Structure 1
Amino acid sequence: MEDKFNCTCTHSISIRKNVTVSIACPFCRNLYCLVNDEIIKTSTLKPIMEDVSPLKINGEGILESKEFRITGRQQIIYHSSYKNLWSATYKSGEHFQIGESYGTYSIIKEVSAQVSPNKFRNLKVGKEIELAPKHSFYVNGIHEMKELTAEGDFPMPIILQTRCLSIELSNNKFEFAIINIYGDNDLKISSGYFLNFEDFSFKNIRNLNGWI
């Protein structure tokens, strides 16, 4: 079910009722956040950096026999690399993210983090860390986010703080975790696993030579 509102640029924007939390205007790049049924402009986003991703908003796919649709993209730019986080929703309403980085794909979900960010601030590449009992990972990358931009519709707030430390972890089970520390006290931990592009059974994606 959808509602509509008018952006300050006068274009009409559709939002998913009781689902949308953040949305970017596709015409002027204004970012809005829905708070207690009030639509608030929070910032103006920079343009998405053009890349050769075959994915796009409203692209569809099937994963584990469940159909999903892509609703938004966050593009995270580090000092020497970047990655896309595609927001996707199953028909049941369950949300997940598709990670995309230089042709590798993954499923990502946020997990509960009842721990202080200080536990992770002094990690080094190669160090082993246990995030859950008998569930260990190794640090394989530590990056400071340079900037973030986005397009589309999201069921969660889009955090635009540029002060973000991102710690990437992996193990020998094709699993990984990402620890993001925003500012001094805001901590988000996500976990997931890698998949091949073909595993998503994508359709309605960009017509790039070699992909479809």
Structure 2
Amino acid sequence: MRKFACPSCGADVVFRSAQSVYAVCAYCQSMVVRTDVDVTSLGVMAALPDDMSPLQLGTGGMFDGQSFTIIGRLKIGWSDGLWNEWHMLMDDGREGWIGEAQGFFSVSLEAEENSWGGVREALERCRPLLEGNETGAAGIRPGFSVTINGVQLRAVDIKLATCLGSEGELPFAAPKGRRTVSIDCVGADGEFATLEHDGKEASAYLGRYLEWDALRFSNLRPLEGW
């Protein structure tokens, strides 16, 4: 864990993960980027829209026999709704994401590009969505297959997603308005994957859907009725 003074307000900005490069100051909402010796402010982040999620920064849980702590969040919007992506740090040092949408949860870890089969090609075909090319986007449909870590998955949803705000530690800069092409895929045995492209970088995350009780959450946000 490393601690820096926020360049904007002087408050402590803590990086729990060695892989986290960006963080949002909890006091002034400035996004800061970490170098080897210092941090630099990238500007003030927008306030996160209110929601009824019971999760929060500092929420703990269990996944695959490993404890984890939530250290960051993205609030994502698209044409039909919103969802949360919670950045988690596991006790063994691995990082992942908990997707939370309408009471459903998925946990996924980033897959190395050398394990991809057809992922980059699929994202390139969907690039017109990101570029606002309505003619080029007209024929983009789910149903195609990709392979990640030897698992075959079928694309079931393709959308243009926009970051509405972020907090905590993140492995990449996520200012309000950041847009990504997002492709959700499922496997025959319950596997789940998300493919993303922001116009510069492509990523693939592989995991599975889980029930609330399986994640054994702790330190939840107090909500009336819970």
- Considering fraction of residues, name the structure with more helix: 2
TM range (shorter): 0.7 to 0.9
CA distance in 2 between partners of 1:209 and 1:64 (Å): 30
CA 1:66–1:47: 2 relative to 1, 3 Å: same
1:163-197 per-residue CA deviation (whole Å, 9 max, x = no partner) reads 321111123322121111112x4211112100001
Write the mapping of 1:1-212 to structure 2, written as runs, cut at 5 A: 1-16=1-16, 18-113=18-113, 115-116=120-121, 117-121=123-127, 124-132=140-148, 135-154=151-170, 156-160=171-175, 162-183=178-199, 185-209=200-224, 211=226
Matched residue count: 209
Which TM-score applies when normalising by structure 1?
0.85
For 1:48, give the aligned amino acid.
L
CA 1:101–1:9: 2 relative to 1, 3 Å: same
Which TM-score applies when normalising by structure 2?
0.81
Residues 100 and 106, structure 1, Cα contact 8 Å, conserved in 2: yes
Residues 109 and 205, structure 2, Cα contact 8 Å, conserved in 1: yes
Q: Name the Cα RMSD after superposition.
A: 2.4
CA 1:119–1:113: 2 relative to 1, 3 Å: farther
Q: Sequence identity of aligned pairs in percent?
A: 22
Consecutive unaligned residues of structure 2, counting only runs of 5 or more, are 115-119, 128-136
User: SS of the counterpart of 2:55?
Assistant: coil
Consecutive unaligned residues of structure 1, counting only runs of 5 or more, are none
For 1:144, give the aligned amino acid.
L
1:85-119 per-residue CA deviation (whole Å, 9 max, x = no partner) reads 11111222221211111110111111123645425
CA 1:210–1:171: 2 relative to 1, 3 Å: farther
User: SS of the counterpart of 1:71?
Assistant: strand
